[in-house]
Each structure stands twice: as structure tokens, then as C-alpha cells.
Amino acid sequence: MSTSSFSNLISAVAICRTPYKQKFGIPRQPGLVDTKGYIELVGEFNNIDCVRGIEQYSHLWLVFSFHENLAQGWKTTVRPPRLGGNEKLGVFATRATFRPNGLGQSVVKLHRVIQQDGKIRLEISGMDLVDKTPIIDIKPYIPFSDAISDAKGGMAQEKPELISVEFSEQALIQISQYEAKHEHVDQFKQLIEGVLSQDPRPAYKKAKVDPKLYQLALYDRDIFWRVIDNIIVVEQLVSSKVIDNKEHQ
């Protein structure tokens, strides 16, 4: 079977809805930030029979497409952020997002199945996916076979070190006002702190003084922040309808 004919057999079964509106700032692995999102089944898969019995599982595997990276292709070697962006490893020795077939997989926590207005949605948390990511397949996570207690994680054996996050008085007021107006958004401060504490800056920026003002998009808000004395300081939140997937100067 040729590659082209194989790709014609694959179609999205769902779309993932998350607070992450741009690639910059998304947790680099699932489970690092405990925020909620949804899997919305689409087309012929938007059928309650497709998820019958799924609530007996606490976690799910999501096979998805790195749809925003496909046009940029892939390389045989990459520079993992874990290694400071200075050392190259083979693409198959990493979880790089630029892959030959543009496919990724993540484990997420399943909270409940929602059937409303003709739509089937799975409420999940812990995802590391940009909003509107196409989901290629959904499978149950099986603890006795999927969790290997003595597995070796190579360069990623331990969780990443976190950096302190502080908020200006203005930012705290804006967060409180936003939560009050949006019932579906709770613990917005914790979400911002969880994402930024992993320091999403490029590796080469972390070893020197960095006066740059950064922007991070969550829901429909741009969060502006900078690093001062190795502490991330959130300065303000601004309403945003159009989000640029690149770093803002």
C-alpha cells in the first residue's frame, strides 16, 4: 500500500477543544497542567454507540495530528528542549512535534460523557494539545499493560523543574473579573501559573538576561509576562480575537 493511499484511509474522529489557542506555551507533555477540555466527536463518529462503556476507564489514549506542523515537514534529527536545544537526537528518539507522518499520542483523564444538542463530547483534563487539534483515534488506557513501573525515561526520566510565577495587582483583578463573567472557566489563575511555571521560552533564552515581554494565549485572552530575576511576572491580560502562533515581540 502506498503512503498516499494509506493517508486517504485516515480521517479525524473528533476535534479537541482546549484553552491553548497557540502552540507557544502548550505543556510539553500530557498531565503537567490540570486543566479541562473536551473531545467533540464529528461526522459518523458523533454517535453515542461509539463511546458506549467508555466511562469505565479513568484515562484515555488520544492519537492526534500535529496539524499546524504538517506543512513544515520533518528532519532526521531534532534539538530537544530538555537538552537545552544544543544537542541533536534522532526524531524517533524524541517526542518532537515535527514527525514523518505528523502523528502524536497523549494520555488524558476522562471525567464524563456529555450528550447535548445532538453532540457527543468527552470532558477530559491534562491534555497538551492546541485548540481544534484533529483526533485520529481514541483508546482506553489500560493500567496493567500501559504503566510500566521500571521503565527508563532517558533524558526525560524526571518531571521538568518549575519556575516561580507571580502576578501584578492589575493581572489579579483582570483574572477575577474574567472568571466572574465566564462560568465555564474556573481556576484561571492556576491554569496560567501551571503553564508559565514550566517556562515556555526557547532554551537559548533561559541562560541569559531576557528583558523581552512575552505573550501567551489562553481562551480568548492574551497574557503578557516577562522574566525578572528568574521569576515569571504576569503583568496584564488583554482581550484577543486574533492569535498569532509565533512569539510576540
CATH assignment at residue 219: 3.30.2310.20
pTM of the complete model? 0.84
Same domain for 18 and 85: yes
- DSSP H helices, the chain, are 3-7, 143-146, 169-181, 188-196
Do 76 and 168 fall into the same domain? no
* 66, pLDDT greater than 70: yes
Final residue in a domain of this structure, among 131, 154, 177 = 154
226 and 206, same structural domain? yes
Strand stretches in the chain, DSSP E: 14-17, 36-41, 59-65, 77-78, 89-90, 103-116, 119-125, 133-140, 165-167, 214-218, 221-228, 231-239
Q: Do 192 and 232 fall into the same domain?
A: yes
Instruction: Quickly state the pLDDT bin for 7 (edges 50, 70, 90).
Output: low
- 38 and 104 inside one domain: yes
Give domain status of residue 247, yes or no.
Answer: no
Which pLDDT score is estimated for 207?
Answer: 72
Distances (CA, A) of 119 to 47, 60, 97: 8, 19, 30
Residues 185 and 220 in one domain: yes
Give ∠ CA 72-21-107 in degrees, rounded to 5. 80
The bridge status of strand 231-239 relative to strand 165-167 is: parallel
**Terminal C-alpha separation, the chain:** 46
Alpha carbons 159 and 142: distance in angstroms, whole number: 22
Tell me: the pLDDT tens digits for 171-230?
999 999 998 888 767 689 999 999 999 999 887 787 778 889 999 999 999 999 999 999
Range of the domain at 75: 3-154
pLDDT for residue 249? 30
Looking at the structure, tell me whether residues 170 and 231 fall in a common domain.
yes
Helix/strand/coil for 148: coil
Model pLDDT for residues 30-42, shown as the tens digit of each residue: 888 888 999 999 9
Structure-model confidence comparison of residues 241 and 57, the more confident one: 57
118 shares a domain with 146: yes
Q: How many domains does the chain have?
A: 2
Residue 158: predicted pLDDT: 79
